[in-house]
Structure 1
Amino acid sequence: MKIALIKKPSLLRDLLLNELKNLFSNYEFKAYSSKEFNRLFQEQEHLDFLIIDLDTDIDFYSLIDSYKKSNKKIAVWASTLDNTDLFDLFKLDLNGYFFNGMEKEELAFAIQSIVKGKRYVHHELTRILMNDYARVHHHSKERPVGVFSKREWDVLELLTKGYKNQDIAEFLFITEKTVKQYVSSILRKLEVEDRTNAVITALKNKWFVL
């Protein structure tokens, strides 16, 4: 697996690259600046996974379009929550959406998930992206029958509103342990790895309106 990171040259980038190499000794990592844009394009057939820092001076939309056509895995990395490109990038349904401050364990989980064909969205970006998505797709659909119990629907709706397990427990007058059981059941039925992707699935299917 060959993975490329587009990020401005800095000590932080060097440390990050070394960290990634230590975490994934069986993967090949490369780092590029925006000035190496043409070279990166020339090497795209030899790359499997591209991570783009949104703070780099690069036409990432053209780059994303080219790599998507080549069926490459793509993730973008945001440093702030007010980046105006986030919602448009979210609509492109990329493989990953990273955010500054990720611990190495979370970064490892994100990359492993994407390599395995799953989608990763950092929890800091979820509410912003979901709120924008819901505003555009504001008409709810009839919920499918026989998928969830009434209580599971209640829990899923609160998840879409950003409630934590403790908040859900207090709102529904149940224990936090019971909430965890409902969440596990929801993830299993939706065949998703985490609550972020459960929320994405629910809103994409227009089961709820925020």
Structure 2
Amino acid sequence: MIRVLIADDHHMVRRGLAFFLGTQPDITIVGEAADGKQAVQLAGELVPDMILMDLVMPGMDGIQATKLIKQQHPGIKIMMLTSFSDQEHVIPALEAGASGYQLKDIEPDELARCIRNVCAGTNEMHPKATTHLLQQFSGSRLLNELTKRELEVLREIANGKSNKEIADALVITERTVKTHVSHILAKLDLADRTQAALFAVRHHLV
């Protein structure tokens, strides 16, 4: 029997999930949490096999809760069940330790299948989440193409500095900075400094 804790700040969502999953012969709902703080508390008290975790909740959000739960109870599987599929939510959730990422428009039978698979050790990702994960991996691989000096220049670009300010900070000529910027844009396949700055932020360089 798979013991599931549901964490979502919307009562109707919790009730709907509990009602459907309760009809599954191998799944039982052991508790419901209305926010991240309560999810952390109940995770310690109930030690479920799996937590269905919403992302955006009052007080402590799903990402913070996931991070704490995985630190305290690494054996508990956590699957994000959310309405958000953008990179700014997907990547932090996976970095926090989530083993799955699904959207709330998932078909009920598919959700049950994902719960079983995650508990069996498989990562279950919505296609949009997988795309962001691949983009992150691809971006990390591209970063390895940059030299140490180019990475320094990229960080300065992300901090909003002009070529002259970068030259002063790194004690190099402005012409050298321009050369580094050109190399960075070419290697990362970016169009301009704004895209470079966003790339640096997304990959936690600043």
TM range (shorter): 0.5 to 0.7
Q: Any conservation in 2 of the 1:78–1:100 contact (CA below 8 Å)?
A: yes
Shift of 1:56: 1.6
Q: Which residue of 2 aligns with 1:41?
A: 41
The match for 1:77 among 76, 81, 84 is 81
Q: CA, structure 1 residues 55+39, in 2 after alignment: closer, same or farther (shift >3 Å)? A: closer
Q: Which residue of 2 aligns with 1:175?
A: none
Q: Which residue of 1 aligns with 2:112?
A: 108
Q: Any conservation in 1 of the 2:80–2:102 contact (CA below 8 Å)?
A: yes
Q: Which residue of 2 aligns with 1:2?
A: 3
Shift of 1:21: 0.9
TM-score (norm 1): 0.57
Structure 1 vs Structure 2 CA RMSD: 2.7
Q: Does 1:138 align with 2:139?
A: no
Which SS does the other structure have where 2:86 is aligned?
coil
Q: Any conservation in 1 of the 2:50–2:77 contact (CA below 8 Å)?
A: yes
Q: CA, structure 1 residues 138+112, in 2 after alignment: closer, same or farther (shift >3 Å)? A: same
Shift of 1:19: 0.4
Q: Which residue of 1 aligns with 2:66?
A: 64
Question: 5+ residue gaps in structure 2?
Answer: 145-206
- Which has the greater radius of gyration? 2
Spell out structure 1 runs of 4+ moving beyond 6 A.
none
Q: Any conservation in 1 of the 2:100–2:125 contact (CA below 8 Å)?
A: yes
- Number of equivalent positions: 140
Q: CA, structure 1 residues 104+134, in 2 after alignment: closer, same or farther (shift >3 Å)? A: same
Which SS does the other structure have where 1:102 is aligned?
coil
Q: CA, structure 1 residues 19+29, in 2 after alignment: closer, same or farther (shift >3 Å)? A: farther
| Matches of 1:92 and 1:62, distance apart in 2 | 8
Q: In structure 1, what residue type is equivalent to 2:112?
A: A
